[in-house]
Structure 1
Amino acid sequence: MRIGITGTGRIGAFHAKTLLGVPGVDGLVVTDVVPESAAKVAADLGQTAVPDLDAVLAAGVDALVVTSSSPGHAPAVRAGLAAGIPIFCEKPVAAELGEAIELARLEAAASTPVHIGFQRRFDAGYRRLRDAVQSGELGFVHSIRAATHDQAPPHAAYIPTSGGLFRDCSVHDFDIVRFVSGREVASVFATGGNKGAEFFREAGDVDTGAAILTLDDGTMVTVTATRYNGAGHDVRMEVHGSTGSMAAGLDDTLAIRSAQPGATFPAGPAHQSFMERFQPAYVAELTYFVDVARGVAPSPCTVADGLAAARIAEAAQRSKDSGTVVTLTEIPGLRT
């Protein structure tokens, strides 16, 4: 199987190397808007670099991996669907909600699978949480806490194109809340602020935010995010039920220390980046995608799933901007 990759930045280069280790993958065709980037990845891995996405598709690849910047996602997915080849697209499915709706409609009308890259769905801890919730092991779930705390902010040039903290960062939590709980979000109240670099304010963004989600069965969810967690990359979820509680991300790499005298947990060094934290999940995710591309497994996270997370992020942004609760019925979707 030959796989095309559009976007050879940090995550694209990582995915390229990972894919070459998956049985059945025997070649890559890569491209990037910065030709030198694609050329370097191709040279490092002994693969082929081409000028643009059209050239990738013309090379007759069997599947397409989209790891470009967010504005390039929708055009690449659209092109992949038109070519009729299986597609893996890193989140978000599109930079704009309207584009995500359009792609979900195209996906529904096509026979081509699209796999949206929310890697937490392949993390062992989150999958164990999901099993515990779905089996009733925790009783009825009444509250969930989710956190994505980055060790350091991205570079200033990234923020204006990121879509903002809720769309860029918390969208991972919004997706995994749906995955773990098996429920849909009914309403959102969100807030945010800035204590860090001025470039967040200049882009109309916040460096720290919080959202309260009410699920369709009444479960309460709190989601927090920050670009400034100097102790390390801290991504966790707690699920609290009537008969038990369980957490993902609670191990020796936890980027927080106890203030209680004599407490020794956690003991190990904290993760410093999302790549380090989720490396096994990324490998599992791409290995599964190859099965999707081979036609032996269904997409585990469709464009419709990506749209659902994007709609929650849109509701959070609107709530933060307006200071009011926003219901998901107010956010455009497939039925509007």
Structure 2
Amino acid sequence: MTRDAGFAVSTDRPEVVRRIGLLGCGRIGRLHASLLTELAGFELVAVADVAEAAAAGVAESTGARVESIDGLLAADDIDTVAICTSTDTHVDLVLRAAAAGKAIFCEKPISLDYALVDQAMTAVEAAGVPFMIGFNRRFDPGHRSVRDAVANGTVGELHTLRITSRDPAPPPPEYVAVSGGIFLDMVIHDFDMAPYVVGSPVAEVYARGAVRVDPRIGEAGDIDTAVSVLVHEDGTLTTIDNSREAVYGFDQRVEAFGSGGMAVSDNPARHAGWSIGRDRRTSEPLPWFFLDRYLESYRQEWRAFHAYLSGAGGSPAGTDAARACTKVALAAGKSWREGRPVRVSEIG
């Protein structure tokens, strides 16, 4: 079963070690490699990357062996693959891993093309292999607390969800030119967070955007500032605001408002210390690097994946999530370009 589901870490199952092959040894691959050597229940067996030096570096730091991509996918001592390569390679690697019968963890997005996403997810479902897409923010303790408050009725009938997601500094225009744009490379996290918290799929998107940070991003055909209004199938409204540059740090907030009150996931400071005097108050600024904000969510993501592989429910972010977030992101881009609300059903 690869459909989306909640997760719970079982405490009454014998520990099963999943033997991992890591594809991709760039920044996100190195992060996952480090976590896999730290967390119980995993053994990082082998790594592969087209950049031999990158693979060798991760192997040296983790004790894993270096394999070719073909060798890793064919290895009998690997039961699970973690796909952390560039987005344009994800579909091919998912198809090959599914055909090899491996459990699959894949970083987002699967592809910038919905037809290819659907092709890959259909192959995963046909093969019957476990699958999870890497939406780590689902596992951030603060964000998850908001989702839980909605699910258990603490906020009453949900009226609106508000998500703020701002990066501390813009990416280089060279990245923007190949990333698929702000909706697919950045806001896609928020397009996944919205139905995860609300508990209802997105039916319609109205997105507006502007270039307010770096004119080179506009010259590359993208925007650096965006606001999206989502209408969920149950009538809930979600607003999302995004910026490529928040000069004060990594700004990530979620607020659910309903008939019984509200639940909020706020920004953590770099540490909890602060001081106050007669006419002043000082506190620490926000984290600057995304790992300072979300490292624990990556740990919890792997723990949830292990629980899923051990039989504790369905995938925490499965094939439905991979399809849905891509559809919403593409609908947002279409809405921005055409200046109108776009039904998610128009994509596909």
Name the CA distance, whole Å, in 2 between partners of 1:189 and 1:269.
Answer: 33
Alpha-carbon contact 2:267-2:286 (below 8 Å) kept: no
Alpha-carbon contact 2:139-2:300 (below 8 Å) kept: yes
Q: How does 1:75-114 map to 2 (within 5 A)?
A: 75-114=92-131
Counterpart check, 1:146 vs 2:147: no
Consecutive unaligned residues in structure 2, runs of 5 or more: 1-17, 272-277
Aligned to 1:57: 73
The 3 A distance-change label for structure 1 pair 55 and 95 is farther
Match for 1:196 among 209, 213, 216? 213
Q: How does 1:316-335 map to 2 (within 5 A)?
A: 316-332=332-348
Q: How does 1:1-336 map to 2 (within 5 A)?
A: 1-51=18-68, 53-60=69-76, 61-252=78-269, 267-332=283-348
How far has the Cα of 1:194 moved from its partner? Answer: 1.0
Amino acid at match of 2:259: S
Name the CA distance, whole Å, in 1 between partners of 2:189 and 2:299.
Answer: 17
Alpha-carbon contact 2:112-2:184 (below 8 Å) kept: no
How far has the Cα of 1:295 moved from its partner? Answer: 4.7
How far has the Cα of 1:142 moved from its partner? Answer: 1.0
Alpha-carbon contact 1:150-1:226 (below 8 Å) kept: yes
How far has the Cα of 1:17 moved from its partner? Answer: 0.9
Name the CA distance, whole Å, in 2 between partners of 1:101 and 1:262.
Answer: 59
How far has the Cα of 1:251 moved from its partner? Answer: 4.0
TM-score by length of 2: 0.88
How far has the Cα of 1:72 moved from its partner? Answer: 1.2
The 3 A distance-change label for structure 1 pair 104 and 147 is same
Name the CA distance, whole Å, in 2 between partners of 1:229 and 1:242.
Answer: 32
Structure with higher RCO (Cα < 8 A, 6+ apart): 2
Alpha-carbon contact 2:141-2:297 (below 8 Å) kept: yes
Calculate the aligned-residue CA RMSD, in Å.
2.0
Give CA deviations for 1:190-220 in whole Å, capped at 9, x if unaligned. 0111133343223211111111111112211
Name the CA distance, whole Å, in 2 between partners of 1:128 and 1:263.
Answer: 32
Name the CA distance, whole Å, in 2 between partners of 1:45 and 1:274.
Answer: 23
Give CA deviations for 1:303-334 in whole Å, capped at 9, x if unaligned. 221110111111100000000110112111xx
How far has the Cα of 1:294 moved from its partner? Answer: 4.4
Name the CA distance, whole Å, in 2 between partners of 1:323 and 1:41.
Answer: 46
How far has the Cα of 1:253 moved from its partner? Answer: 5.3
Give CA deviations for 1:270-321 in whole Å, capped at 9, x if unaligned. 1112222110010111122233344555311112211101111111000000
Aligned to 1:257: none
Amino acid at match of 1:272: W
Aligned to 2:9: none
Consecutive unaligned residues in structure 1, runs of 5 or more: 255-260
Q: The residue matched to 1:5 in structure 2 has which SS?
A: strand
Give CA deviations for 1:50-99 in whole Å, capped at 9, x if unaligned. 23x21211233110001111111111111111111100001112231111
The 3 A distance-change label for structure 1 pair 73 and 211 is same
How far has the Cα of 1:8 moved from its partner? Answer: 0.8
Q: The residue matched to 2:118 in structure 1 has which SS?
A: helix
Q: The residue matched to 2:154 in structure 1 has which SS?
A: coil
TM-score by length of 1: 0.91
The 3 A distance-change label for structure 1 pair 15 and 227 is same
How far has the Cα of 1:41 moved from its partner? Answer: 1.1
Alpha-carbon contact 1:63-1:293 (below 8 Å) kept: no
Name the CA distance, whole Å, in 1 between partners of 2:235 and 2:310.
Answer: 40
The 3 A distance-change label for structure 1 pair 213 and 27 is closer
Write out the 4+ residue segments of structure 1 that deviate beyond 6 Å after TM superposition: none
Alpha-carbon contact 2:213-2:225 (below 8 Å) kept: no
How far has the Cα of 1:9 moved from its partner? Answer: 0.9
